[in-house]
Structure formats: C-alpha cells, structure tokens
Structure 1
Amino acid sequence: MVSFFNEICFRCRIGNGIFSNPVLVTPISWQSTRGYVRRAPRNGFSKQKKYEKSKKLMKYTKPARMLLSKSVIAPSDAQRSRWSHDDFRRQKSVVKEFTERQGTTPYLVGPPNAGGFSVLKSIDYEDRLPLNATVARLSSFESLRLLPIVRNALYGRALRQLDEKRPTAIQALAIKRIMSLPPPTVRLAQQGLLAKEDETDEEYYERRRYRKNLHKMKVKLKSYLLAAETGSGKTLAYLLPLVSMLKEEELQNAPAVWELPERPYIRSVILVPTAELVQQILAVVKDMCHDIKLASAGLSQETTRGVADNIRKKQIDILVATPVPLLKLLHRTDWNILEDCRKIVVDEADSLMDRSFKNETQEILDAPLRLETLVFCSATIPKTFDRTLAKKYPSMERIIAPHLHQVPRRITFSTVDTAARPFFNDKRKALAETLYNLDRSDTDPGKLKRIVVFVNHRESVPGLVEYLNGLKFHAVGVTRDNSLEERSSLMREFIRPTPRLEEVNNLNVVTGAVKTLRVLVTTDIFSRGIDMQSVRTIILYDVPFSSIDLIHRAGRTGRMGRRGRVILLATKGELKPWLRGLATTINRGYALV
C-alpha cells in the first residue's frame, strides 16, 4: 500500500505536470504529512540546467519505474503493532464518526481527535427543539398532576429558600410523563376490581378470587430514563412523582393495587452509588415526608449491622440505599424483603450500571416480584450505558432535557497553559498563582470563598494538601480512605451556605494567611450528585479521563442557575489541539460528545 501511495504521489507531482519546474523528491517516513518533501537545488546547478536535465530524464524514464528502498516501503514491527492495536483503530473510528456528525449536526461540536475522551452518546439537535416548547407550556407546578399535600411540602420545605418556585426543564418533563398513568381507582375500575352497587354473588366471589391471586400475577413494567445536565434538580424530578404515587395509593385506599401485608415491607427503593448521596437524598426525603407522612430510611456501607437488621422489622415507604449493603441485607433475610417493592429509582445510573456495580444493581432490580415503575436517572449517557439499556429495556421511555451534555451556560470555562512563563510546566506553581488571583478577585466580596480542586488519583491528594498548607492556604483533602464521619465533617463547610468573613470565627476552622479561601482537594468521590451550593470555583488540577468526568466535576458549581467558573490546568504534554478549543466549545453552549 505504501509503494502504491508513493507511485501515485510521483505521478501527480511529475507525470501530470502539476509543477512547471519539476524538482527531485526524497522519500521520508510514512508518519509525515505527505510522504515527500521538496529538496532544494544543489549548489552548482542553475535553473536552466536543472530544467533541461529533468526534461531529459522525463523523456527516457517512466514514473512507474521509480524504485524505493525496502526500509521505506516495508513498515517496521512497531508500526505494524500500532496499526493492529485496538486503541489506534478506536481513535480512527472516533475521528471518522465526529467528522460525519459535525457535517450533519453542526450544533453538536465536541472535542475532535480526542480518542477515549469522547464517550458520550450524541443527541441530535432536531430532537432537542420540540422539548423547549413543552417546557415553556409547563411553567408552574400547578400545571402538573401532583397531590396538594405534595405541592405544599414542595413549596414549604424543598424550595423554601428559592424566591421563584417554578419547575426546571427536567422536572416539568419527568413529572408530566411519569404521572400520566391514571390514578389507582381508575385502574381498579378498568380491571373490574372495585365493588359495584348491583354486584351479584358470583361477581363478588370472582372479584375476591382475582384479588387474592393478584400478587402472583405479573404486571407490565413502565421504565423511564431521566437525563439532564448537572444542577438541574433531577432529585426532585423523580422524587415528586414517587411520593405522589405512593401517597395517592394510600389516600385512595387501593388494596388491590397495593396489598399491605402484616409483615415488614419496603414499598420503594432509591439506589445511589455513595454513602454521601444516601445522606443528602435521605435528608430531602425526610424533610418532605414530614408533611406527607411517609416512612423513610437509609442504608449504606457505613450503616451498622444493628441498624441494617432493624430495617427488616419496619414498614418502609422509601428506602435510600447503596447496592452492596442492600444486597447483603437481602441475602441475610429469610424472605425476600423486596417482594412487595413496586417502584425503584436508580440515581447516577451510568455509574451504577457500569462494570463496577452492574451485577449488584441488576440483582436488586430482579428481586421484586411485581415491579411496576423503574426510573433511571443520570446527568450523562455514555455509549456503553445506552447500549445496555437498549438491550435490557427496549421499550424504555426516554425523558431527556434540551441541554443534556452541556456545561451550564452560567459557568465560565478557561484553560491555563502551565508550560508558559512563569510556571514552566510546574502545575503546583500554577495552582498557587490561581488561588492567589482568586483571593484578590472581587467575586463574592466580604464572603468566604470555597474552592474545590479535583485530581485523578487519590495518591496525589496528601502531597498537594501539604504543599498548599505550606503556602498558608487552608486546604483539606478527602478521599475514600477517610471514614464517613471524617468526610461528612470536612464536606459540611462546602455544602452549607456561604458565610460572611466576620462570621468565620464561629465556624471553628483553622485560619491561614489567606483568610478568604477554603480549598478542598478531592477525587471523583465527590464529583457525582453532591450539592455544593456555596462553591463558586472548580479547579481541574488533572485533565479528566473523559468527557463524563469533565461534566460531573464542572457540575459541582453553577447549580440551579447560580454562577460559577471552572479552571483547567494543563501541561505541555496534556494541552492537545482539541483541549485548546475545549473552552470555546463549552462557553458557546455546545454539547460535548
């Protein structure tokens, strides 16, 4: 193939007469741009003599007979191994796919030539437009089918700190679609399970016999996928329909749909990947269920054996849990504790359905005997996750927000080239200079500034924290090596509202030389779902592994319409061409792929 390519190049350059003054060409490595470079005329040859000699050679020499050395024609063993390597093939396919997609849908501009960085499923621009019209019609929670008691708990507790209480795009779309099912009484009437005034004895016994065997019959599963950008209120998007359906069954006294047993039961489950998310979501559930009057509980890796065993003895409406502890409790119980579970929500589904939790999550999803509603919720749709759902749940209804895979527009993204002066590829110096500039900036005047620094490996956290504390910054590090109590106490300062500087003394924290900054150095353990409302700045100390990690890390700021900034530090080796244009892609509001 290389010999044929060289012959074609020679024919194009000399045989077809493209160059009026033919020049000698020298073969170079196949990895270069065109395979040939032009050689400058040697000393002693004038242009006229060179032209005559070239004309004479062209008269008696056929271009097809040009010979090349075997070292140029035959590829080396290293080149052959690179051609056959899976990563090389995958990168070529990614570049080809991006080029074709960019020609058809110019709105979806992603990082080209990015290899494994581009792992997200692309959503066509034409599929996003109709959603905007639907969201515009559903401009208030009154236009959505929610019980009054649920709407009052929403206004009085979940949204009490917001001045404007209106649904986000994913909340409006999800509540409208999930709550489109008829109420339990209507479903009972359609199935002939409600008592009639002129009911005969035969109809009565037939209805009782049907209700008695109802728990043995399979029901049609309704599955949904909720996908929206980070900080868009996805928790309430699936929680409001869940509590409304649970309360509706209770208020309308629908025993045929929900036959409450005498023994302990679990009516619904919310699966999350980390113990921190269990605490965060359980706090929202308990706050709302205080008015709605539903029982809730939490289960994670940090839950003690006694607390876990106590869950088996209760009647729980909503259980927030991580997969592994719930699976252990399921195996340790004499009966199937999820037998009466009708509704399951899988939050951060792309993480729970990857190879780390996929087997445990799927075993939990297969445990309920009469599962009616299954909701997957995620801020990103990786290609592998999309193929898994399409294979396992082909009839799934997808509810996708118009701005999926976009970094929120109120977040400013910038890249710092640490190879330039005065850093000279020293990321630590670049990080320190960035923090000093943030300290002197006029953002949040008079308030304490919280900054989160993300690294790729937890081994980097202690050294970076020690370096920042040596420069009189107040920095703390959090990894999986810390216990839940330590992580919760360190994270509490970055979750609570931003205090003013005169109130810092009441926070019981050590104050360094830079008094306006608090820095948290962590890994991806806190990049998913954690609501850091007081964090305005995210620093990406390491380039994320993929566009998934980039979206989740950047999503810790700019939540629920707030402003924020993301700063990426890149060395000379990391600053690839597609990474240089990443800031422009994000700031223009394009979706990543």
Structure 2
Amino acid sequence: MSFTSLKLPVPLSKGIEKDHYKKPYPIQEKAIPAIIDGNDVLAIAKTGSGKTASYVLPILVKEADRKTTRNRFVTSLILVPTRELANQVLEVFLQFSPYLNHPPKAMAVFGGASINPQMKKMIGTQILIATPGRLIELADKNAVHLDDVKTLVLDEADKMLNMGFRKELDQILTLLPKRRQNLLFSATLSNDIKSMDRLILSNPITIKIEEKEATVDLIKQSAYKVTEERKGPFLRYLIKHLELKQVMVFTSSIHKADSVAEKLNKNGIHAKAIHGKKSQFARIEGLKNFKSGKLPVLVTTDLLSRGIDIEFLPHVINYELPRSPKDFIHRIGRTGRAENPGEAISLITEKEDHHFQVIMKKMKRSIELQETESINLHGY
C-alpha cells in the first residue's frame, strides 16, 4: 500500500515519498483513513510504530481545508505528557506542512519555559501541541481559547495518566466543545485507558498494532564485564574502536550523566548530557543536534528512555543498569525501531552482574558477558 491510497492529497503524498517514506506503517494504514473520515479512534501501538504521523497527516489535511478561524481559537489540540514529546510532534507537523498549498500554523507549548513568548506566538495558531499544565495556564490568561476545537488528540495517554495528569485532563475537557473528533493513542490498554476511552470516545474505531517478536530480534545485544575503574576508559574505547557515529549512553543519575559527558569531551569525543536539570533550550538543542547527526554521543538518564523518537538510532549503551527490566527494555528500544536494525551494549560490573541476569531472565534472553581484562585501555 502507498500513501496515495490513504485519502491524502496528491501534493502531500508526493512530499511524503520525497522524504523517503516508501510505504505507510500498519497503524498509518488503518488510522489515517479513519481520521480523515471523521471517526473517533482508539489506537494502541508502541512507541516507534509510526503513530505520530498517523494523526499528524490527517489533521494537516483537515486544517488546510478550514477557513481562517478566530484569533487564539485553536481548532486542533494535541495533548502530550512531556515537553520532549511536544517538540517531537511539532517537528513532524513542520516536516510535512510545507507540502500543502495553505499550510496551517502549528506550535508547541509546555512548562519549564517562559510563558510570555508562548502567549505572543499563539496568534494565528490552528494546531496546538501542549502539555496539560501549561495549556491550563494559557487558558486561564485568555491567551488561548478552546471553544472551537474540532479535533482532540491524547498522545501517550497511558503515560499522562501514570504521571498524574488525570485532574488536569478532566479540567481541560470541560473547556472543550462537546461535539468534536477524539483520538486516543496509547502504548498500552490499561484499565485507566479503558476508563478514559468510555469518557471521551464516541463509537470509536479501535486499532491495535501487536508488537512483533521480529522487532525485538532486530536489536543485537552484547554485554561486557568491566571493573568500575575501567568503565569510563572502556566506554571511550568502544566509541573510538567501533567508530560509533550516533550513540545514546544511559546512566542512572544526573550527576553521572554530566560526569560521563565531561570525560568523553576531555578525551576528544564530542558529547552532551541532557536531563531534567538542563535548561529547556539545552535539551532541545541537544536532541536536535543528536538527531541530525551533528552530535555523535548523547548521555542521558531514564528521562529519555520513553518517548524520544529517533527512527534510525544505531547504538545504545547502558553505562549503568536501570532499576527495572521494563526500563531496560525501554532503553534498548530506542534502537531497532521501525524495522531498522540496531545494537544495544551493556557495561556490567561485578556488583551489577546479578541484576543483569535478573533482567535477562525477565526478557527470556541469555547474553554472555565478554571479558575485557586483556584489552589495553591506556590512552582512553
């Protein structure tokens, strides 16, 4: 199936194919026509399955056909749990909107950044991507009005509910018109999601994309036994020896992320650390440069093990293990996405060995620890 068969305008379809998207992913095949036809949709699909474009493309089509709306009255609202995801969704809108004759204006708003510039940029905005708390702040200041919203999207709804946004979501729903199209996207179908489904969706089309084992198999895993003292030098050895051009390194703390990035730079490896204590500008720039290939190494915490969408990330390194097997899966799941192969490398000390074996058992995997004592790390 091609994008031209999904009820998308020809210029948009050609633009998508020009961007080297050969064919739609399964969720896009099912969701795009359903959304264009005006149906409510409940879509269950894991991160990295192409879900963002599955609602971005039909919303662009709908907004391009709409007449100019009242100022500060947005007509499409996308709610997301984090500022990182807000920026990623905005990037997808900005990527495809130039292919339309009359591209609608889209913007992202979130906390942790000054509210005044966001208020000023709201003028003329049709598509708004927002975190719940900042949206409520803007609505309270009359900087944005939700009376004209025609399409509501809850993206990563499971994560929003897990992060305690239920009260804010309920408040936002009271500000929206009762007649609207509702799209709910989630990685899991939990009881909370079922409750939200009954609350906001009307006769929805349910789309569930099952995760294939082959996706997991795309991730080549390896693990190395190292002492704590040799971990840093061995990380630098791996990056240089294997000539890794784009690698995400996970640590268990903010302090360690900063320390690892600092030592990488001192040893001639361009790296940046991003985490919750970095400024919003630093985080956005770091992600942007990493995704574009300008920054070869990004060091981070589990803040980014979910949500970040880098389609062709080839390597992930666990400098330290996460607390749970689930977090380990989320980490290595940043690679091997969207049918692209990837490699996940774990550095394991003697203290971490038991925890690593527990993680492997949960994953029903067996990975042999490779010895590193004989490797000369002098100069690394």
TM band (smaller chain): 0.7 to 0.9
Tell me, in whole angstroms, the C-alpha distance in 2 between the residues paired with 1:261 and 1:390. 29
Shift of 1:265: 1.4
User: Is 1:171 the counterpart of 2:33 in the alignment?
Assistant: no
2:301 is equivalent to residue 439 of structure 1: no
Does the 8 Å CA contact 1:406/1:551 hold for their aligned counterparts?
A: no
Aligned length: 361
SS of 1:329's partner is helix
Equivalent residue number for residue 341 of structure 1: 149
Structure 2's unaligned 5+ residue stretches are: 368-380
The CA distance in 2 between the partners of 1:354 and 1:474, in whole Å, is 35
Q: How does 1:48-447 map to 2 (within 5 A)?
A: 139-146=1-8, 148=9, 151-156=10-15, 158-162=16-20, 165-181=22-38, 223-248=40-65, 250=67, 262=70, 264-292=72-100, 293=102, 294-301=104-111, 303-310=113-120, 314-333=123-142, 337-378=145-186, 380-381=187-188, 383=190, 385-389=192-196, 392=199, 396-403=204-211, 407-416=215-224, 418=225, 423-424=226-227, 426=228, 429-430=230-231, 432-441=233-242
1-structure distance, mates of 2:11, 2:165: 37
Aligned partner of 1:449 in structure 2 is 245
SS at match of 2:247: strand
- 1:540 touches 1:566 (CA, 8 Å); kept in 2? yes
Q: Which amino acid aligns with 1:348?
A: E
Q: Per the alignment, do residues 280 and 393 of structure 1 end up closer, same or farther by CA in structure 2, a change over 3 Å counting? A: closer
1:544-559 aligned at under 5 Å gives the runs 544-546=322-324, 548-559=326-337
Q: Is the aligned partner of 1:528 residue 2:345?
A: no
8 A Cα contact 1:175 1:241, kept in partner: yes
Closer, same or farther: CA 382–459 of 1 in aligned 2, 3 Å: farther
Give the C-alpha shift of residue 361 in structure 1: 2.8
Contact (CA 8 Å) 1:449, 1:535: kept in 2 or not? Answer: no
Which consecutive residues of structure 1, in runs of 5 or more, have no partner in the other structure?
1-138, 182-221, 251-259, 498-506, 510-517, 587-593
The question of whether the paired residues in 2 share the 8 Å contact of 1:461 and 1:521 is answered with yes
- After the TM superposition, which parts of structure 1 deviate over 6 Å for at least 4 consecutive aligned residues? none
Q: TM-score, normalised by structure 1?
A: 0.54
Structure with larger Rg = 1
8 Å CA contact 2:231, 2:347 repeated in 1: yes
SS in 1 for 2:338: helix
User: Retained in 2: the 8 A contact 1:155–1:165?
Assistant: no
Aligned counterpart in structure 2 of residue 565 of structure 1, from 339, 343, 354: 343
Q: Alpha carbons of 1:473 and 1:485: their partners in 2 closer, same or farther (altered >3 Å)?
A: same
Give the counterpart letter for 1:330 in structure 2: A
The DSSP-based 3-state class of the residue aligned with 2:158 is: helix
Return the letter of the residue paired with 1:145. K
Q: Distance in 2 between matches of 1:345 and 1:267?
A: 11
If the length of structure 2 is used for normalisation, what is the TM-score? 0.81
1:488-546 deviation per Cα after TM superposition (whole angstroms, max 9, x unaligned): 3333331114xxxxxxxxx6x8xxxxxxxx43211233333333356311112343344
Separation in 2 of the partners of 1:583 and 1:451?
Answer: 25
Deviations 1:383-427 (A, max 9, x none): 4544543564586543111326985442223344x4xxxx35x3x
* Cα deviation 1:410-451 (Å, max 9, x = unaligned): 2223344x4xxxx35x3x63464355245323xxx7xx6121
Letter paired with 1:231 = G
Query: Percent identical across equivalent pairs?
Result: 27
- In 2: Cα distance, 1:405 partner to 1:362 partner: 37
